[in-house]
């Protein structure tokens, strides 16, 4: 009997693991203000792509946000800061990419951006530079230029389509 219970638990956890990593890599954005305010200039990155200390660093420098002014009205700043903190990567470790990003950070490292986390650098290092800098992409910050299902929080290989290159096969 004990053996059966143990086996059930093990099997359950195995399936839970394969299920959670099979679909969504990161929790999709579920905040309309976030999509409106952040998404008007760039792809609205899922909060689970960075831990809260990184989000707080980014939010405290909105007057020079990657070189441009992205300041918000005080009430919107408060709402969005809370949203990012409540949904940040270290609180979403059941999602594969959130987990990998957090785990890749060096001790004490507070990443300035998603694309400079060790996990993201590693995942993109085999891609030719000119494919990343081409006008259709511009840079690693433009997730949705190649990850066709990025908005759903799905970053799997089979949904990649790089402009002027095509599908990515490892």
Partner 1 sequence: MKILLIPALLLNLSFAAVVDDYLGSLKQEVIKENPSFTGFDAKRGEEIFTSKHIGKKGKEISCTTCHTSNLSNSGENTFTGKTIEPLSPKANSKRFTQIKEIEKWMKRNFNDVYNREGTALEKGDVTTYIINQ
Residues 70-99 that bind partner 1 (CB under 8 A): 70-73
CA torsion sign, 67 to 69 to 75 to 80?
Answer: negative
Structure tokens that stand for 159 in this block: 């949904």
Contact call for residue 166 and partner 1 (CB under 8 A): no
The CA distances from residue 53 to 31, 90, 166, in Å, are: 20, 10, 36
- For residue 8, what is the enclosing H or E element? helix 2-22
| One residue of 136, 148, 157, 161 binding partner 1 per CB under 8 A | 136
Site for partner 1 in 144-163 (CB under 8 A): 145
For partner 1, the closer of residues 69 and 170 by Cβ is 69
* 137 contacts partner 1 (rule: CB under 8 A): yes
User: Is 6 an interacting residue with respect to partner 1 (CB under 8 A)?
Assistant: no
CA–CA separation, 17 and 54 (whole Å):
27
**Interacting residues toward partner 1 by CB under 8 A:** 40-43, 63-64, 66-73, 135-138, 141-142, 145
């Amino acid at each position: 009997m004990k053996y059966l219970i143990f086996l059930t638990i093990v099997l359950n956890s195995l399936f839970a693991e394969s299920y959670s990593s099979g679909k969504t890599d990161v929790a999709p954005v579920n905040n309309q203000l976030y999509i409106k305010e952040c998404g008007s200039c760039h792809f609205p990155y899922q909060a689970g792509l960075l831990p809260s200390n990184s989000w707080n660093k980014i939010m405290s420098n909105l007057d020079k946000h990657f070189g441009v002014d992205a300041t918000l009205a005080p009430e919107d700043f408060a709402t969005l800061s809370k949203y990012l903190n409540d949904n940040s990567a270290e609180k979403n470790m059941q999602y594969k990419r959130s987990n990998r990003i957090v785990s890749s950070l060096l001790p004490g490292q507070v990443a300035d951006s998603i694309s400079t986390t060790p996990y993201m650098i590693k995942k993109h290092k085999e891609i030719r530079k000119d494919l990343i800098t081409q006008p259709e992409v511009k840079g690693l910050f433009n997730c949705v230029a190649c990850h066709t299902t990025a908005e759903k929080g799905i970053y799997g290989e089979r949904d990649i389509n790089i402009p002027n290159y095509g599908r990515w096969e490892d």
